[in-house]
């Protein structure tokens, strides 16, 4: 399957987001206050 540069870039972004999400989930499990800080920072955007 041949991917256009845009599709390839989109897939790379999704892969990065998956890695990021896994890191966030692991952090939340090990640090209960992390999620509250994460939410308050997200609301401030």
* 9-34 residue pLDDT tens: 888 888 888 888 888 788 778 887 87
Angle between helices 32-43 and 5-30 (to 10 degrees): 130
Statement: residue 1 has pLDDT above 70 = no
Better pLDDT: 36 or 3: 36
How many other CB atoms sit within 10 Å of the CB of residue 35?
A: 14
Q: What is the pTM of this model?
A: 0.41
Contact criterion met (CB below 8 Å) for 35 and 28: yes
What total of structural domains would you count in the chain?
1
What's the domain range around 9? 5-43
Statement: residue 45 has pLDDT above 70 = no
């Amino acid at each position: 399957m041949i991917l256009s540069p845009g599709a390839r870039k989109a897939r790379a972004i999704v892969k990065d987001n998956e890695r990021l999400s896994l890191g966030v989930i692991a952090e939340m499990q090990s640090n209960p206050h992390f999620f509250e800080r994460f939410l308050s920072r997200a609301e401030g955007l």
